[in-house]
Amino acid sequence: MTQQINPNAPASATPPVNKRKRALAILAGVVVVSAIAWSAWYLLVARWHEGTDDAYVQGNVVSITPQTQGTVVSIAADDGMKVEAGDVLVRLDPNDARVAYEQAEANLANTVRQARGLYSTVEANQADIAARRVAVQKAREDVARRQGLVATGAVAAEELAHARDELASAEAALAASNENLSRNRALVDATTVQTQPQVAAAAAQLRAAYLNLQRMAIVAPVSGYVAKRTAQLGQRVQPGTTLMTVVPLEQVWVEANFKETQLANMRIGQPVELHSDLYGKKVRFDGHLVSLGLGTGSAFALLPAQNASGNWIKIVQRVPVRISVDTAQLKDHPLRLGLSMHADVTIRDQDGALLADAPPAKPLLTTDAYDKQLLEAEARIAKIVRENLGRHG
């Protein structure tokens, strides 16, 4: 059967070559514009930034430990509670420490009285020497008088010999008294009762006993929040036993682990933009680069990597970088230890140092929670000495 061609039928559609060319031109334009935009963004913005998600919140974790042994009788704080520096967190049974303190008080009072006796002995020795000198002078005069009378026969030679014996005895007694005075004076020479060595030793024992009594109340060295309480009533604790920890959340920082290839342009003092997974992108924390790590994480690991084997594979190492956080922002949006952070360091400013160039001018962290513990001890020592001085005060 032969198919007839209809002369009135429309001509076949032209192949869509023009549409394809137009689409490819548009795509090429988009690619070129994107490349130009990306290049501009990289040259103006991206090349001045180094970022990482391998960053975490770190902070000081202050362990609360007893300085002496004892039994827990009171616990004043629990996990999550806020405490101030100097607040009593745990109390230990003070009875044994109080008995030792009272014994130290009695020992100090007794030692002060014994020291008074030393000074009195010196005074008695001086009086005895004065008497001995008088006896020696009298004996010498008796010998001299009898020596003149022996020639005339008025006094027998035997009586002169007795007088000489008495002079020798008096001189020996004077020498013994001088020796006693020297020995006793050595114990008190250039001192007062308060500074006499035995009194000073007894006062030191009283200070130690007082400190042990004060340390029955375990105080917080810093302000912060209690975490990981393990103390229990009736627990017998030894010095160094961790009873709880206190975390000062206003002192936290961020430790960001950057690749070694990102560190070339990082300098101390460069600004850092931080975001936490807790608050998301809506909350921004401002920080500054404080220090660049002095080694990779593997270098300080318990089991450092051993790369001297034949199947070694190179792995890009990461170096911890410490970043401070604005404390004013921490008040509004507190961070917890261990939270994940994103850190973006602006490396445009290259004026900072790679390493710290000077030691700190003052301690980084201090506490005065224990400063007042000895004040009452000094006042008590002064009172005991004063009450037992008598006329030697």
Q: Is residue 147 part of a domain?
A: yes
- Are residues 261 and 232 located together in one domain of the fold? no
Confidence check: pLDDT of 1 > 50: no
CA angle, 182 as apex, 180 and 188 as ends, to 5°? 110
Q: Which residue has the higher pLDDT, 198 or 303?
A: 198
Question: What pTM did the predictor assign?
Answer: 0.73
205, 227, 246 - which closes a domain: 246
Amino acid found at 1: M
Residue located via tokens 């130690």 = 208
Distance CA 299, CA 319 (A): 10
Residue 5 confidence (pLDDT): 52
Confidence check: pLDDT of 65 > 80: yes
pLDDT band for 276, please (50, 70, 90 cuts): very high
Residue 187 confidence (pLDDT): 65
Q: Choose the most confident range, by mean pLDDT, from 36-40, 293-297, 332-336, 372-376.
A: 332-336
- Are residues 104 and 167 located together in one domain of the fold? yes
Q: What CATH number should be reported for the domain holding residue 281?
A: 2.40.30.170
Q: How far from the centroid of its chain's Cα atoms is residue 1's Cα?
A: 109
Q: Is residue 354 part of a domain?
A: no
Residue 10 confidence (pLDDT): 54
| Residue-wise pLDDT tens digits, 91-110 | 999 999 999 999 999 999 99
Residue 151 confidence (pLDDT): 65
Total domains present in the chain: 3
Q: Is residue 223 part of a domain?
A: yes
Read off the pLDDT of each residue in 239-244 and give the average, rounded to a whole number.
94
| Residue-wise pLDDT tens digits, 115-140 | 777 777 767 777 777 877 887 788 77
Confidence check: pLDDT of 310 > 70: no
- Are residues 69 and 114 located together in one domain of the fold? no
- Are residues 161 and 299 located together in one domain of the fold? no
- Are residues 189 and 113 located together in one domain of the fold? yes
Confidence check: pLDDT of 173 > 60: yes
- Are residues 89 and 237 located together in one domain of the fold? yes
- Are residues 156 and 289 located together in one domain of the fold? no
Q: Is residue 258 part of a domain?
A: yes
Q: Choose the most confident range, by mean pLDDT, from 74-83, 108-117, 132-141.
A: 74-83
Read off the pLDDT of each residue in 200-206 and give the average, rounded to a whole number.
92
- Are residues 260 and 239 located together in one domain of the fold? no
Range of the domain at 158: 96-197+374-392
- Are residues 182 and 130 located together in one domain of the fold? yes
Confidence check: pLDDT of 311 > 90: no
Q: Is residue 20 part of a domain?
A: no
Residue 16 confidence (pLDDT): 64
Q: Which residue has the higher pLDDT, 227 or 170?
A: 227
pLDDT band for 255, please (50, 70, 90 cuts): very high
Confidence check: pLDDT of 332 > 80: yes
Q: Report the SS3 class of residue 4.
A: coil
